[in-house]
Amino acid sequence: MTLLEFDSVTKVYSVRGAGQIKALDDVSFTLESGQTIGVVGQSGSGKSTIAKILTQLETATSGEVRLDGRPIPRHGSGLRRYRQQLRMVFQDPFASLNPYHSVRHHIERPLRLDQVVPRDELKAEVRRLLERVQLPISAADRRPHELSGGQRQRVAIARALASRPKILVADEPVSMLDVSIRLGVLNLLSDLQREEGLGVLYITHDLATARHFSNEIIVLNQGRIVERGTADDVILRPSHPYTQELRAASPDPEKFFASISDAEGGAR
């Protein structure tokens, strides 16, 4: 079922001295329940502009975004209800949590604001959400600085899940985490996508994890979609020169050492 339609969206920024910059140029895609779309491209390609328009931190210059077939309401309670259904997980788990407040506060806030559960069930719901993201219950009374980067990112995911959204937009959710815990956080996102039927937009510059965790991949360059398809098609058989360039630039030890032993074999 089509959950989200991003329909011919163009976003133009006016920059003093530089004139007009087209951050997104006629970009269209659809996201279904239980699907992960990877959005890849280099810095400035427009990846994060998509996230900003989806969350309505920016409005599109032209084009339309529809959730369940309905355009995003511009303001008021309609916009709030829309935002309950589409939540963000940000890149920096150190900056996205408030150091003054406990983990419980972070998770309870959307529960209260969106009146997800009755007041007397708040505690149980926080417990359920922490379990969902594989954090111990004791984490509820900790503050962000007492947690590791990976644990903080799990708190951010629990907070995003609190309003029971249909869509998660994850903008480089693991690039600031240690390598050994990146997979854990990505596996959690992929479990949620499968088990709760979430639509996930995974924005990243890392082609290897995009391939591993996405059903489809969209390649953005200078605000335009230059290539799209199933994850394996785009990464293994890139047809656009820009995608080929991105792949060639990404570390790939497998291919690297294979080509070395080929060269040595040929020389013998």
Partner 1 sequence: MSNALLSVQNFSVIYDVDPPVQAVTKIDFELRRGEILGLAGESGCGKTTLAYGIQRLLKAPAVITSGSVVFHDASGDDIDISGLGVEDMRQFRWDKISMVFQGAMNALNPVATIGSQLEDVFEVHRPNMSKAQRREAVVELLDIVKVGGQRRRSFPHELSGGMRQRVMIAMALALRPQLMVMDEPTTALDVLVQREILRQISDLRDEFGFSVIFITHDLPLLLEISDRIAIMREGEIVELATAERIWNNPQDEYTKKLLSSFPRLTGEKGLVKR
Contact residues toward partner 1 (CB under 8 A) are 42-43, 149, 178-180, 182-183, 205, 207-209, 211-213, 232, 235-236, 245-257, 260
How far is 268 from 66, CA to CA, in rounded Å?
A: 61
How far is 18 from 9, CA to CA, in rounded Å?
A: 22
Shortest distance, CB of residue 189 to partner 1, whole angstroms?
14
Shortest distance, CB of residue 212 to partner 1, whole angstroms?
4
How far is 223 from 10, CA to CA, in rounded Å?
A: 8
Residue 55 or 250: the one with the smaller Cβ distance to partner 1 is 250
Q: Hey, which residues does 96 pair with through a beta bridge?
A: none
Identify the sign of the CA torsion 229, 231, 233, 238. positive
Residue 122 or 176: the one with the smaller Cβ distance to partner 1 is 176
Shortest distance, CB of residue 208 to partner 1, whole angstroms?
4
Residue 137 or 257: the one with the smaller Cβ distance to partner 1 is 257
Shortest distance, CB of residue 19 to partner 1, whole angstroms?
18
Residue 100 or 256: the one with the smaller Cβ distance to partner 1 is 256
Shortest distance, CB of residue 126 to partner 1, whole angstroms?
28
Tell me the chain's radius of gyration from C-alpha atoms. Answer: 20
Question: Please, is 169 exposed, middle or buried when counting C-beta atoms within 10 Å of its C-beta (0-12, 13-18, 19+)?
Answer: buried
Shortest distance, CB of residue 4 to partner 1, whole angstroms?
26
Residue 19 or 253: the one with the smaller Cβ distance to partner 1 is 253
Residue 108 or 172: the one with the smaller Cβ distance to partner 1 is 172
